[in-house]
């Protein structure tokens, strides 16, 4: 089964609204074994909509999932164009009208004529009632291509897809089984991974796909398998990872939906340990990442955002002489920062970061991307210098993931 996603809306084209619908739908459809081959983003214009629909029919897509343009205002033309494309007239659907009235009654609002018109649907359409809004989903077919038109409001589209459209497809079409497993790594780039597992990747059969999903400071390695027998393809994927895991064992921190922050928090809980942060480069980002995990209050003591050198000196007790002689981005300074915050917070573990995120401030001796990290662990101060590339936000995120993974390794080793 192959599909196209069509997102309709001028706001998507001018960058006013991010097209999160297409991303969400792509992932969900893939989970159901429906292959998304095209994503179109088009304006609220009749010729653009019709041209795209014709292309989808000519390309023999099995499904075309459409979002947007179904609101009650005059600029929402999708439904009218949708009906014309199928040479169908718009008629009032009583079930949709009752749903519109129910929603307006719940909010104690008057149902106006433009709202009543939400119940207009193509005469031949199969309709899915939208429990989260007034615009229904509409299902029509041309040749062998099924078109499903849905509202663009994310919560409404997601409800219709999950609760109505996809279950209907699953019950009426024979979809392939799919099994997917993802390996999570930190501290190694995708090109290095590709080189290490090249012999495995080259030997993959056609029904198994390997994807590298890099982001700042981490790479996800996903293997997807398609087939008739779920148990057979699951065994194939698991066997592949049995081969890959020993080759990447020094970089693996988890699988599938594991979250590095949650792993660290759970390890701290299991060991009965507390943690505190002194952050310059990361400016509170590390403490925040830990605090987002439920139950973090049992392990997170607090932190100091020592962005300016006066705070490093006056609050954390860093020697001004060390800053003057070695700069704030130095081993000497992060050692004093981590010692200072540990003393203030009386935590079992402490972390300090200092670096240059750029785009300015770098020198030949200390270029942008230079990061020093210190960790107070079991009475000992460990330090390490990292060169984390360019891009202000990316450097901070790489630092975050580098520190968290370092903590994970220390905590796992101490168990």
**For 78-108, how does the pLDDT look when each residue is reduced to its tens digit (9 = 90+)?**
899 999 999 999 999 999 999 999 999 888 8
Dihedral angle sign, alpha carbons of residues 344, 345, 346, 349: negative
Q: Where are the domains of the chain?
A: 2-172, 177-255, 260-414
The per-residue pLDDT for 259 is 96
Peptide bond just before 68 cis, omega within 30 deg: no
Q: 76: pLDDT confidence band, cut at 50, 70 and 90?
A: confident
pLDDT tens readout for residues 235-275:
999 999 999 999 999 999 999 999 999 999 999 999 999 99
**pLDDT above 80 for 146:** yes
Which of the four CATH numbers 3.30.365.10, 3.30.1330.10, 3.40.50.1970, 3.40.980.10 does domain 2-172 have? Answer: 3.40.980.10
Interhelix angle 46-58/78-85, rounded to 10 degrees, is: 40
Q: 401: pLDDT confidence band, cut at 50, 70 and 90?
A: very high
The residues that bridge with 372 in the sheet, in sequence order, are 354, 385
pLDDT tens readout for residues 200-212:
999 999 999 999 9
The per-residue pLDDT for 328 is 96
| CA 182/CA 196 separation, integer angstroms | 17
> Is CATH 3.90.950.20 the right assignment for the domain spanning 260-414?
yes
**pLDDT above 80 for 71:** no
Please report which residue ranges of 224-283 form alpha helices under DSSP H: 230-248, 260-271
C-beta of residue 149 within 8 angstroms of C-beta of residue 157: no
Least confident of 165-179, 272-286, 318-332: 165-179
Which of the four CATH numbers 3.30.70.2860, 3.40.30.10, 1.10.287.3610, 3.40.50.2300 does domain 177-255 have? Answer: 3.30.70.2860
């Amino acid at each position: 089964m192959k599909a196209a996603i069509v997102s309709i809306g001028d706001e998507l084209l001018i960058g006013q609204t991010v097209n999160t619908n297409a991303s969400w739908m792509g992932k969900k459809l893939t989970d159901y074994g429906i292959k998304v081959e095209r994503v179109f983003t088009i304006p609220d214009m009749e010729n653009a909509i019709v041209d795209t629909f014709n292309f989808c029919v000519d390309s023999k897509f099995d499904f075309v999932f459409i979002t947007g343009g179904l609101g009650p205002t005059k600029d929402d033309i999708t439904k009218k164009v949708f009906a014309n494309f199928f040479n169908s007239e718009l008629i009032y659907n009583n079930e949709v009208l009752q749903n519109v009235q129910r929603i307006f009654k719940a909010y104690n609002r008057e149902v106006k004529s433009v709202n009543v018109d939400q119940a207009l649907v193509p005469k031949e359409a199969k309709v899915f009632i939208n429990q989260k809004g007034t615009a229904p989903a509409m299902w029509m077919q041309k040749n062998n291509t099924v078109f499903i038109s849905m509202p663009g409001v994310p919560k409404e589209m997601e409800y219709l897809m999950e609760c109505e459209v996809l279950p209907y497809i699953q019950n009426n079409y024979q979809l392939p089984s799919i099994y997917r497993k993802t390996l999570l790594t930190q501290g190694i780039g995708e090109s290095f991974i590709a080189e290490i597992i090249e012999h495995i990747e080259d030997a993959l059969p056609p029904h198994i796909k390997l994807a590298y999903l890099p982001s700042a400071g981490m790479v996800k390695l996903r293997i997807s398998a398609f087939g008739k027998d779920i148990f057979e393809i699951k065994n194939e994927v698991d066997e592949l990872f049995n081969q890959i895991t020993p080759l990447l064992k020094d970089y693996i921190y988890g699988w599938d939906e594991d979250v590095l922050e949650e792993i660290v928090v759970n390890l701290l809980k299991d060991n009965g340990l507390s943690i505190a942060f002194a952050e310059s480069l990361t400016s509170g980002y590390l403490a925040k990442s830990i605090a987002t995990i439920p139950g973090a209050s049992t392990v997170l003591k607090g932190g100091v955002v020592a962005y300016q050198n006066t705070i490093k000196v006056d609050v954390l007790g860093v020697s001004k002489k060390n800053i003057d002689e070695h700069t704030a981005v130095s081993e000497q300074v992060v050692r004093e920062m981590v010692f200072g915050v540990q003393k203030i917070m009386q935590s079992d573990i402490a972390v300090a970061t200092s670096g240059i995120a750029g785009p300015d401030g770098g020198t030949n001796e200390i270029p942008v991307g230079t990061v020093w990290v210190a960790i107070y662990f079991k009475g000992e101060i460990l330090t390490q210098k990292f060169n984390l590339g360019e891009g202000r936000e990316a450097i901070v995120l790489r630092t975050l993931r580098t520190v968290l993974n370092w903590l994970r390794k220390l905590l796992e080793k101490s168990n």
